[in-house]
Amino acid sequence: MTQKSFSSVFLASLKSARFVFVLTGAGMSAESGLPTFRGVDGYWQNHRVQDLASPQGFARDPLTVWRWYNERIRAYSGAQPNAGHYAPAQLEALVPDMTIATQTVDSLHARAGSKNVLELHGHLREARCTGCGVTLPLANGLDESLIDHSCGERFRPQVVWFGESLPQDVWSRAESAAARADVILVVGTSAQVYPAAALALQNDRAFIAEINPDATGLSDRCDCVIREGAAVALPAIVELLRL
């Protein structure tokens, strides 16, 4: 992509920005070979959200839920960050204050070197006991024999499920970063899940740019839309900022 691929107002806004807020979703990791949720081969095409990503589904059938998460954990640990993950890590060095709020739970932003990452929907690096709160590291998933904890409750993935609140501290930090942003980049999310999607609309002063091959619920509210994959668009933007 060249300078002409981007709106000049967008590049100028980013160049002069003091505060940049980046909201990302599963599309961020598509070019690392990981499925999205609502895409053609997305998880929600052949799995039911309420069975796999809700407290009720877990209470009904913890083994099925853990089998699904274990598969994802193994896919994540076998995947590598793509150029789209490395670009925001480089952007952090170019702007005075940058925050990434991600809906992904694959840890690829951190593995690419980003420092200031808020994981809105938790992560899959550990399991937490629903009773006593003790945690277990999850390098290769959770052995099925360990699901039931000796305290009488069960281990669950350290993620946020539908119907649950986002971690308060993470949410407050994301809200204030979005509210002070001069530029907001919305990357690889269908923007269908709230409250995360609402972060993009936290302030009416910021220049909002969407990077996504397809239109989303936020496209009409954005100041510019870049219809490209994250691994192509984000490195091109960082390159242009360095000129």
Binding region for ligand OAD (CB under 6 A)? 25-27, 30-31, 36-39, 42, 53, 103, 121, 160-162, 187-190, 192-193, 211-214, 216, 229-230
Q: Which is nearer to ligand OAD, 21 or 161 (CB)?
A: 161
Examine the residue annotation and report whether 85 is marked as an active-site residue of this protein: no
CB of 86 vs ligand OAD, minimal distance in Å: 14
CB of 32 vs ligand OAD, minimal distance in Å: 9
CB of 138 vs ligand OAD, minimal distance in Å: 16
Q: Which is nearer to ligand OAD, 110 or 187 (CB)?
A: 187
Q: Which is nearer to ligand OAD, 30 or 200 (CB)?
A: 30
DSSP the chain: --GGGS-HHHHHHHHH-SEEEEEE-GGGGGGGT---SSSTT-HHHHS-HHHHSSHHHHHH-HHHHHHHHHHHHHHHHH----HHHHHHHHHHHHSSEEEEEE---S-HHHHTT-SSEEETTEEEEEEEETTT--EEE-SS---GGGSB-TTSSBEEEEE--TTSPPPHHHHHHHHHHHHH-SEEEEES----STTGGGGGGS-SSSEEEEE-SS--TTGGG-SEEE-S-HHHHHHHHHHHHH-
CB of 62 vs ligand OAD, minimal distance in Å: 17
Q: Which is nearer to ligand OAD, 148 or 164 (CB)?
A: 164
Catalytically annotated residue among 85, 109, 121, 123: 121
**Catalytic amino acids?**
121
